[in-house]
Amino acid sequence: MAMVDEFEKQEPKMGAESKTPQEQADRLSLIAEKEKWNQPGKADSLVGPGVIGMTPGPMQMSAKVQLHSKMAINLFRGRKHNPDTGEFAIIGAARFARQVAMVWSASASDDPYADATLLAIESAYASAKQTLKSKREAVQAVLDGDMDGFEIDMQESVEPVELELRFVSPWGFRASALIKEFDELVRMALTAKHLGLFVDEDWKHVVHESSRVIRHMFEQVNRWIGTGIKRSNMREDDKKAKAAKLAYAKHFKHPIELKDDVLSGKRRARLAPRSMMLVQYLESKEREDKAGEQSQDNAVAVKMDEDE
């Protein structure tokens, strides 16, 4: 094991001596994050074997999910456009995850259209989540009410499909979680139908409506196109901003609306990447506003003194 050289214990200079241990720890965490201490010349020296390769590789993760119903699998995979047969494309979770990864990256680069798209996705996700919850509760009530005293095992596949999930954006995993909820709802509805508790109209009301709201969420990702635009371009209304506006106008009959609070960066999706460009701009803007208010207060004070 690598051994760490002993070093002189010294309290870090924290400014005011009244800072609590928790405040000191928080400040050191922020410093460590910004300065990246694990670099030659910054970290404490190491001696002994195993000192090479102290910088870890990139972090990654995967997850697995089992799906039992064909409808859930179709909703995950989607369908390609087939020009020969005239079949139109149907977006599924797989393509949604690929496209939302690009939107996620653009949002991190301060693309206001990407932020507006993530807000639309977030809103549609909340609606889909609520729909699935209400439909599931309705089916469960039917099973509990009409089959009281029965022990019922839900329909399941003898060979469920296991999918390994690797997504860049968290929205890929959220989409997959919705698919899993939908799969469980389909199993419940199939069970109710097999028991004679569901007719075709019930099936359409529960299953078709649930798949529709999930696909509506997936379709929101198509409201974004890559233009390389940033909020700084929009503030200056430069050539790049004009080109982006023209591209959206040509590409969409009803382009996504950039409201003032989204364009300014004050409102973003709760699940959105950190944009350092936006953070720096908002911090600078806040300092300017405070300086302007202070200047105005000083001017008022001088005027009052003169009047006296």
Q: CA–CA separation, 42 vs 61, rounded Å?
A: 29
Given this model, what pLDDT does residue 104 score? 97
Strand partners, 82: 87
Given this model, what pLDDT does residue 38 score? 58
Q: Which residues contact residue 130 at a Cβ distance below 8 angstroms, ignoring those fewer than 6 apart?
A: none
Please compute, for residue 201, the number of CA atoms within 13 A of its CA located in the half-sphere on the CB side: 0
Q: Give the model confidence (pLDDT) of 132-141 as tens digits.
A: 999 999 999 9
In the block, tokens 């970290």 appear at 43
- Tell me the H-state helices in 69-152: 70-77, 93-108, 112-146
Given this model, what pLDDT does residue 3 score? 43
Q: CA–CA separation, 75 vs 210, rounded Å?
A: 11
pLDDT averages per 10-residue partition of the chain, 308 residues: 40 49 65 59 58 71 91 93 84 95 97 97 97 95 82 89 92 96 95 89 90 96 96 95 95 91 95 93 80 62 58
**What is the pTM for the complete model shown?**
0.77
**Which residue in 50, 170, 151 sits closest to 107, CA to CA?**
170
Q: CA–CA separation, 199 vs 206, rounded Å?
A: 11
Type of residue at 103: V
Q: CA–CA separation, 98 vs 134, rounded Å?
A: 29
Given this model, what pLDDT does residue 138 score? 93
Percentage of the chain modeled with pLDDT above 90: 56
Asked if 215 and 132 touch (Cβ cutoff 8 Å), the reply is no
Q: CA–CA separation, 234 vs 263, rounded Å?
A: 8
* C-alpha separations of 59 from 56, 102, 214, 229 in Å: 8, 19, 30, 29
**Which residue in 102, 79, 101, 82 sits closest to 92, CA to CA?**
79
Would you give the end-to-end CA distance of the chain in angstroms?
Answer: 76
Given this model, what pLDDT does residue 248 score? 95
Asked if 239 and 113 touch (Cβ cutoff 8 Å), the reply is no
* C-alpha separations of 51 from 6, 26, 44, 57, 129 in Å: 16, 28, 12, 16, 49
Q: Give the model confidence (pLDDT) of 207-255 as tens digits.
A: 999 999 999 999 999 999 999 999 999 999 999 999 999 999 999 988 9
